[in-house]
Structure 1
């Protein structure tokens, strides 16, 4: 299944280019790179571990489209996100 803005929260994030657009830790804002790994609460972006819950991310899809995503929405294990119901515009 191709990655679209609608299914991004339920899709595999590893390998996607991403930028931290907002964070409670201002030192992490603007950090960008490729998602190297993911846990329930963190993303490994270019070797830096970033908390999902406290950030907003701008993902670049393979199509070149950019999608901003609140980290709180994806603060789950990847295998749990596949089954989740999405609120609002993500449903």
Structure 2
């Protein structure tokens, strides 16, 4: 089960997300994650278009299945998904 404490250790594909840009203020996108690489996340936007968003410089607000919204800085996600799932993160 995905929770706010273990989100970074789970697969993101299929989750709803709202993306904003920390550097690029014009980036404002909502949709569902359909693919992920080391440096990007591909999102199917609400208008059924596919957008590729860089992880670095972006702020992601994930909506997990229980409806909770979790904000994560894209800079800490900039590793391969399979490595991110195995990695241990420091507790803040």
The two structures have a TM-score, normalised by structure 1, of 0.88
Give the drift of 1:23: 2.9
Root-mean-square deviation over aligned CA pairs: 1.1
Name the residue aligned to 1:83: 86
Runs of 4+ in 1 over 4 A off after TM superposition: none
Name the residue aligned to 1:3: 2
Number of equivalences: 87
Structure-1 separation of matches of 2:17 and 2:55:
12
Contact preservation (8 Å) 1:9, 1:73: no
Contact preservation (8 Å) 1:52, 1:75: yes
The two structures have a TM-score, normalised by structure 2, of 0.87
Matches within 5 A, 1:25-64: 25-28=24-27, 30-46=28-44, 47-64=50-67
- Unmatched 5+ stretches in structure 1: none
Name the residue aligned to 2:16: 17
Structure-1 separation of matches of 2:36 and 2:53:
10
